[in-house]
């Protein structure tokens, strides 16, 4: 995590959210992430907080765990309780597959597969990895091709 310059910190400390409670650094992070100033963080805003080396599924996994009331938004309370959405670790292969399978058809297409890799991964490398896993060359990954153990399903 990069430290904010002193001037930015000074500007943020004038805001009402930052002065509301004793969770200074976390609250500033929350406010910075809340791009549209709605008072909550949605999945897209949360994803933008994550390092580019992290995958969408890992961020989504942590977002879901932090979103205790399941309204698809993180309140400041949920954000504080989850230490800024840092709790939860990495999803299992089975969890990753389920999260990435956005259309719920039981397969991962290349776009869905990309959600399981670092956001910074170039598309050609995503496709190379995909082709390597797609044993029967049907342009879809089954859970087994993705590496989910049968007994984990």
Name the residue nearer to Ca ion (CB basis): 27 or 67.
67
Residues 153 and 149: their CA atoms lie apart, in Å, by: 7
The pair phi, psi for residue 72, each rounded to 5°, is 65, 20
Contacts of 91 (CB under 8 A, 6+ apart): 57, 58, 61, 99
Query: Using alpha carbons only, what angle is made at residue 46 by residues 110 and 144, rounded to the nearest 5 degrees?
Result: 30
With respect to Ca ion, which residue has the nearer C-beta, 45 or 112? 112
Instruction: Give the nearer residue to Ca ion in terms of CB position, either 69 or 87.
Output: 69
The smaller minimum CB distance to Ca ion, of residues 58 and 146, is found at: 146
Determine phi and psi for 4, rounding to 5 degrees: -75, 145
Are the C-beta atoms of 76 and 19 separated by less than 8 Å? no
Nearest Cα neighbor of 55 from 125, 110, 118, 98 is 118
Closer to Ca ion at the Cβ: 30 or 107? 107
Q: How far is the CB of 124 from Ca ion (least distance, A)?
A: 19
Q: Give the bridge partners for 42, in sequence order.
A: 73
Q: Which residues contact Ca ion by CB under 5 A?
A: 67, 69, 71, 73, 101, 103, 105, 107, 112, 134, 136, 138, 140
């Amino acid at each position: 995590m990069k430290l904010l310059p002193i001037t930015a910190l000074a500007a943020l400390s004038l805001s009402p959210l930052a002065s509301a409670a004793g969770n200074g650094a976390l609250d500033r992070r929350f406010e910075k992430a809340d791009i549209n100033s709605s008072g909550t963080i949605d999945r897209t805003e949360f994803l933008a907080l994550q390092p580019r080396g992290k995958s969408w599924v890992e961020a989504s996994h942590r977002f879901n765990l932090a979103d205790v009331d399941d309204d698809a938004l993180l309140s400041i309370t949920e954000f504080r309780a989850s230490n800024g959405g840092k709790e939860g670790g990495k999803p299992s292969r089975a969890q990753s597959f389920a999260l990435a399978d956005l259309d719920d058809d039981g397969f991962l297409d290349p776009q869905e597969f990309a959600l399981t890799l670092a956001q910074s991964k170039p598309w050609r490398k995503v496709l190379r990895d995909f082709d390597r896993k797609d044993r029967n060359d049907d342009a879809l990954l089954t859970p087994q091709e993705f590496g989910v153990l049968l007994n984990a399903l």
